[in-house]
Amino acid sequence: MTMKEDLSLIKRYPIVEYLERKGIKPVRRTPAYALYRSPLREETHPSFKVDTEKNLWIDYAEGRGGSIIDLCMRLENCTLSEAICRLGQTTSFDTTCNNVEPSKEKAYSSNGSIKPLKEKMANGTRRLIEVSDTLPPPLQEYLTKVRCINLVKAIPFLKCISYEVRGRRYEAIGFANLSGGYELRNDKTFKGTVVPKDITPVFENKPQPVCLFEGFMDFLSFLSMKEEVNNRCLVINSVSNIGRSISYLNNHQVSSIRTFLDNDDAGRRATQELIRAGFKVEDMSVHYGNFKDLNEYHVSRVREQQKKLEKAPKTNNKPKQVKLKIR
């Protein structure tokens, strides 16, 4: 069977049944559609609809939708290949997939404390073993050499999470959120979440405007670029958390925001949602318009500085920190 045929089979697997397996039940069901409270965020009024005839979903609150594969990627916070692999296993299709094995990871919380993790991680197959303050050398090198992160500034926000998959042990970088979950990264390609997924407020005692970041690598880049952070920060950990972010900002009487979101359609939609919600928004992505996100911009500037230092005559002076010129 070809990969194209595999995908066709997976896309025919009923979304309603996929959600049912996750314990997500519709609020209303008709022969043509099923209506849910969105599984992508907390909400009171149902705005998530599944067309059972076409087997497609749409989230009216976000204006986004797609196939069961798109939903799996959003709901389980995984890549396209991981979604195909997981759905292939779920639907008992003989789907070929290249499993990307997670490596080493870590975690932190906004106030320095660590909330207890659940025994099982997001897809139920990763078993938590240990949370450590010591980040292994491969992950330190990934942060400093690949992401150009100032490790001294980043370490207070990171821990090493050890977990087990099919009897094998792995470690990963983790970044804690408000509900005790973690955003996970390793030094290769793994990217995941320890549920529950949530936002991460940082420096809550500092004044407005609030600097809002899409992911924690962008936040760590910001820390690395600034000598001192003088504003409150909020890492939303996914544009799917924009509704939750708006609720948090409103509850904390925030009126002014600087957004450091990705230069893509999702980032632009999230910025517009914040504007429509009544916040005074300064879109900082205009300062790194030629780059995918703030981290890519930061890495480019560090690389340029390194090249200049290599060409310059050798002195005993230490290289200057590459600072963030934008506010």
Tens-place pLDDT, residues 52-110:
988 999 888 777 788 898 898 888 888 877 788 778 765 443 333 433 333 333 333 33
In this structure, what is the dihedral angle of CA atoms 74, 80, 84, 90, given to the nearest 10 degrees?
-20
Q: Which two tokens stand for residue 199?
A: 């936002």
User: Which of 164, 197, 230 finishes a domain?
Assistant: 197
pLDDT-derived band at 201, boundaries 50, 70, 90: very high
In a domain, 144, yes or no: yes
pLDDT-derived band at 317, boundaries 50, 70, 90: low
Q: Which two tokens stand for residue 70?
A: 């798109």
Mean pLDDT of 297-313: 91
Mean pLDDT of 262-267: 92
Structure pTM?
0.61
In a domain, 272, yes or no: yes
Backbone phi, psi, residue 143, to 5°: -65, -45
Host domain of residue 137 = 126-197
pLDDT greater than 50 at residue 310: yes
On whether both 228 and 288 belong to a single domain, the answer is yes
In a domain, 240, yes or no: yes
pLDDT-derived band at 34, boundaries 50, 70, 90: very high
In a domain, 75, yes or no: yes
In a domain, 42, yes or no: yes
On whether both 38 and 23 belong to a single domain, the answer is yes
Q: Check whether the bond before 209 is cis (ω within 30° of 0).
A: yes
Q: Which amino acid is at 280?
A: K
User: Which of 197, 225, 259 finishes a domain?
Assistant: 197
Predicted pLDDT of residue 172: 92
In a domain, 7, yes or no: yes
Domain count, the chain: 3
Mean pLDDT of 290-294: 95
pLDDT-derived band at 191, boundaries 50, 70, 90: confident
What mean pLDDT, rounded, does the chain reach? Answer: 82
Mean pLDDT of 243-262: 94
pLDDT (tens digit per residue) in 209-244? 999 999 999 999 999 999 999 999 999 998 888 988
The larger pLDDT score, comparing residue 166 to residue 267, is at 267
How far is the CA of 77 from the CAs of 71, 182, 197, 221, in angstroms? 9, 12, 9, 22
In a domain, 22, yes or no: yes
CATH number at residue 206: 3.40.1360.10
CATH number at residue 79: 3.90.580.10
Give the integer Cα–Cα distance in Å for 24 and 50.
12
Give the integer Cα–Cα distance in Å for 318 and 172.
32
pLDDT (tens digit per residue) in 114-169? 334 433 344 445 567 888 889 999 999 999 999 999 999 999 999 898 877 778 88
Specify burial of residue 167 (Cβ count, 10 A radius: 0-12, 13-18, 19+).
Answer: exposed
What is the dihedral sign for C-alpha 272, 277, 281, 284?
negative
In a domain, 96, yes or no: no
